[in-house]
Amino acid sequence: MVTAYPEGVKEFVVYTALRIVLFLASLAVVIGVWMLLADNVPLTWAVVVAFVVSGLGSYFLLNRQRAAFARRVEERADRATAKFEEMKAREDSDDS
Protein backbone atom coordinates (compact mmCIF):
# COMPACT_ATOMS: atom_id res chain seq x y z
CA MET A 1 0.00 0.00 0.00
CA VAL A 2 1.44 3.35 -1.02
CA THR A 3 0.70 6.35 1.15
CA ALA A 4 1.41 9.98 0.41
CA TYR A 5 3.38 12.01 2.89
CA PRO A 6 1.25 15.00 3.93
CA GLU A 7 4.29 17.29 4.35
CA GLY A 8 6.29 15.99 1.39
CA VAL A 9 9.82 14.70 1.21
CA LYS A 10 11.53 17.56 -0.60
CA GLU A 11 14.55 17.71 1.73
CA PHE A 12 15.18 13.99 1.34
CA VAL A 13 14.97 14.14 -2.46
CA VAL A 14 17.23 17.20 -2.70
CA TYR A 15 19.88 15.80 -0.35
CA THR A 16 19.87 12.37 -1.99
CA ALA A 17 20.03 13.81 -5.51
CA LEU A 18 22.95 16.05 -4.56
CA ARG A 19 24.78 13.11 -2.99
CA ILE A 20 24.33 11.09 -6.18
CA VAL A 21 25.50 13.97 -8.37
CA LEU A 22 28.51 14.53 -6.12
CA PHE A 23 29.40 10.82 -6.28
CA LEU A 24 29.11 10.70 -10.07
CA ALA A 25 31.21 13.85 -10.43
CA SER A 26 33.82 12.40 -8.06
CA LEU A 27 33.83 9.14 -10.03
CA ALA A 28 34.38 11.00 -13.30
CA VAL A 29 37.26 13.01 -11.81
CA VAL A 30 38.87 9.93 -10.23
CA ILE A 31 38.64 7.94 -13.46
CA GLY A 32 39.97 10.91 -15.46
CA VAL A 33 42.95 11.45 -13.17
CA TRP A 34 43.65 7.72 -13.00
CA MET A 35 43.63 7.49 -16.81
CA LEU A 36 46.17 10.33 -16.96
CA LEU A 37 48.46 8.52 -14.55
CA ALA A 38 48.03 4.91 -15.72
CA ASP A 39 46.93 2.99 -18.77
CA ASN A 40 44.30 0.91 -17.07
CA VAL A 41 41.71 1.96 -14.47
CA PRO A 42 40.53 -0.71 -12.01
CA LEU A 43 36.85 0.22 -11.76
CA THR A 44 36.39 -1.23 -8.28
CA TRP A 45 39.14 0.94 -6.81
CA ALA A 46 37.93 3.99 -8.75
CA VAL A 47 34.46 3.53 -7.21
CA VAL A 48 35.91 3.11 -3.72
CA VAL A 49 38.07 6.23 -4.03
CA ALA A 50 35.14 8.21 -5.51
CA PHE A 51 32.92 7.05 -2.66
CA VAL A 52 35.42 8.30 -0.07
CA VAL A 53 35.99 11.59 -1.92
CA SER A 54 32.25 12.22 -2.34
CA GLY A 55 31.63 11.36 1.32
CA LEU A 56 34.22 13.87 2.48
CA GLY A 57 32.96 16.43 -0.02
CA SER A 58 29.35 16.03 1.05
CA TYR A 59 30.33 16.56 4.69
CA PHE A 60 31.48 20.07 3.81
CA LEU A 61 29.48 20.96 0.71
CA LEU A 62 26.04 19.62 1.67
CA ASN A 63 25.88 20.77 5.28
CA ARG A 64 22.89 23.07 4.70
CA GLN A 65 20.86 20.37 2.90
CA ARG A 66 21.74 17.79 5.55
CA ALA A 67 20.62 20.16 8.31
CA ALA A 68 17.32 20.84 6.53
CA PHE A 69 16.74 17.11 6.14
CA ALA A 70 17.58 16.50 9.82
CA ARG A 71 15.18 19.27 10.88
CA ARG A 72 12.38 17.68 8.85
CA VAL A 73 13.04 14.25 10.37
CA GLU A 74 13.12 15.72 13.88
CA GLU A 75 9.84 17.60 13.34
CA ARG A 76 8.19 14.45 12.08
CA ALA A 77 9.53 12.41 15.03
CA ASP A 78 8.25 15.06 17.47
CA ARG A 79 4.78 14.94 15.89
CA ALA A 80 4.76 11.14 16.06
CA THR A 81 5.84 11.22 19.72
CA ALA A 82 3.15 13.77 20.57
CA LYS A 83 0.50 11.67 18.81
CA PHE A 84 1.68 8.54 20.63
CA GLU A 85 1.57 10.31 23.99
CA GLU A 86 -1.92 11.64 23.21
CA MET A 87 -3.15 8.14 22.32
CA LYS A 88 -1.51 6.72 25.45
CA ALA A 89 -3.16 9.36 27.64
CA ARG A 90 -6.53 8.72 25.99
CA GLU A 91 -6.11 4.97 26.56
CA ASP A 92 -5.20 5.55 30.21
CA SER A 93 -8.28 7.73 30.73
CA ASP A 94 -10.50 5.09 29.09
CA ASP A 95 -9.18 2.44 31.47
CA SER A 96 -10.17 4.48 34.53
Residue-wise pLDDT tens digits, 22-42: 999 999 999 999 999 998 999
d(CA 30, CA 32): 5
18: in domain: yes
Distances (CA, A) of 46 to 20, 35, 43: 16, 10, 5
| pLDDT band of 2, cuts 50, 70, 90 | low
- What is residue 9's predicted lDDT score, i.e. its pLDDT? 76
4: in domain: no
* Number of domains comprising the chain: 1
53: in domain: yes
54: in domain: yes
| pLDDT band of 7, cuts 50, 70, 90 | low
The yes-or-no verdict on residue 92 having pLDDT over 90 is: no
